[in-house]
């Protein structure tokens, strides 16, 4: 079970691919390795390397004759993808390949198809989303904003990128931007329990208790298991002096950051250090 450079060398040794095809695949493998660094952005040369590898391998699978090998300049070192084992190149290339050769070529093209789609069409929305979450947790706000923006474009029906962007805006006191992002989140997914809960949190922080209560109720209806939404709904009801209802929801939620919520607290006190967690 070979992958990467060892697979390229094996395919070359068995003459499934020629020298140029092996070099093209090696260049593409190098692109793949660079893309493992999430901060790296593919450039035109990387895209061309992927396309070249795909086209050259496609010609190998179609059984097209390989171009005549070019003479190496004096003193040139052999390419890294070449095997040091002796290979008989005197026999003409057969147009039909044995089963092991077909399997070997299929394994190589699988790398190109998966990696090429990853390179040419960009990382998927889930990957961008995860990059944003990781950056957010590390405190790299600019990186997180960029990744969440990509995730929102890649998956327009997902509320989560906008929820995180709203949370980041609210954390620095930019409630206008937070409201805008949460509106976009609910446009993307009107039934998102997380977006509804975050809208409630945003309104609670600003002291708009009645509207916050409505969104928290919708959040609990969307996800009856969400203890955080239940707890902060209890806090919101406490602000509205609806103590009996508030106690009911606080008991249902159990202990949490909302446990010390009392009518005597101010909005500023409630907002400090007790934001509902994001997933």
Domain limits, the chain: 1-65+100-122, 123-189, 191-279
- Contact assessment for residue 21 and residue 65, using Cβ atoms and an 8 Å cutoff: no
Token digits of residue 142: 């600019």
How many helices and strands (H and E) does the chain possess?
Answer: 13, 0
Distance between CA atoms of residues 146 and 270, nearest Å: 30
Could you tell me the two tokens for 257?
């950051």
Q: State the average pLDDT over residues 239-268.
A: 79
Tens digit of pLDDT for each residue in 35-57? 766 566 777 777 777 777 777 67
Same fold, 123-189 and 191-279: yes
Task: Name the token pair of 84.
Answer: 């040091």
Q: To 5 degrees, how large is the angle CA 106–CA 107–CA 108? A: 90
What is the rounded end-to-end Cα distance, in angstroms, of the chain? Answer: 37
Alpha-carbon distance of 167 to 201, in angstroms, equals: 9
pLDDT at 98: 53
Better pLDDT: 117 or 153: 153
**What CATH architecture applies to the domain 191-279?**
Alpha Horseshoe (1.25)
Torsion sign, CA atoms 72, 75, 78, 79: negative
Confidence of residue 167 (pLDDT cuts 50, 70, 90): very high
Q: Is the pLDDT of residue 170 over 60?
A: yes
Dump pLDDT digits (tens) for 87-144. 343 444 444 445 445 445 544 554 544 444 444 444 444 588 999 999 999 999 999 9
pLDDT number for residue 68: 44
Predicted confidence at residue 248, as pLDDT, reads 92
Q: Across all residues in the chain, what is the average pLDDT?
A: 74
107 CB-near residues (< 8 Å, 6+ apart): 2, 3, 7
pLDDT band at 225 (very low <50, low <70, confident <90, very high): very high
**Between vectors from CA 30 to CA 82 and to CA 111, what angle results, nearest 5°?**
85
More confident call, 70 vs 129: 129
Q: Is 183 exposed, middle or buried (0-12, 13-18, 19+ CB in 10 A)?
A: middle
Give the model's pLDDT for residue 110.
47
Q: What is the pLDDT of residue 15?
A: 74
CATH architecture of 123-189: Alpha Horseshoe (1.25)
With a cut of 70, say whether residue 162 has pLDDT above it. Answer: yes
């Amino acid at each position: 079970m070979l992958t990467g450079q060892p697979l390229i060398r094996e395919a070359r040794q068995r003459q499934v691919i020629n020298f140029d095809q092996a070099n093209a695949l090696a260049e593409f493998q190098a692109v793949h390795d660079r893309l493992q660094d999430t901060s790296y952005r593919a450039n035109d040369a990387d895209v061309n390397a992927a396309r070249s590898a795909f086209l050259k391998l496609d010609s190998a699978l179609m059984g097209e004759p390989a171009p005549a090998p070019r003479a190496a300049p004096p003193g040139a070192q052999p390419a890294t993808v070449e095997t040091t084992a002796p290979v008989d190149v005197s026999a003409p290339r057969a147009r039909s390949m044995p089963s092991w050769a077909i399997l070997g070529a299929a394994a190589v093209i699988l790398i190109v198809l998966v990696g090429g789609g990853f390179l040419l069409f960009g990382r998927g929305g889930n990957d961008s989303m995860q990059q944003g979450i990781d950056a957010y947790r590390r405190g790299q706000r600019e990186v997180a904003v960029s990744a969440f923006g990509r995730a929102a474009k890649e998956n327009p029906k997902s509320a989560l990128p906008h929820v995180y962007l709203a949370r980041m805006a609210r954390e620095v006191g930019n409630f206008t931007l937070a409201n805008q992002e949460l509106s976009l989140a609910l446009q993307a997914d009107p039934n998102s329990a997380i977006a509804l809960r975050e809208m409630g949190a945003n309104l609670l922080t600003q002291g708009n208790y009645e509207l916050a209560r409505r969104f928290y109720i919708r959040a609990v209806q969307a996800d009856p298991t969400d203890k955080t939404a239940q707890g902060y709904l209890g806090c919101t009801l406490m602000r509205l002096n609806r103590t009996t209802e508030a106690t009911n929801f606080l008991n249902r939620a159990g202990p949490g950051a909302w446990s010390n919520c009392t009518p005597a607290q101010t909005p500023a006190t409630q907002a400090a250090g007790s934001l509902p967690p994001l997933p």
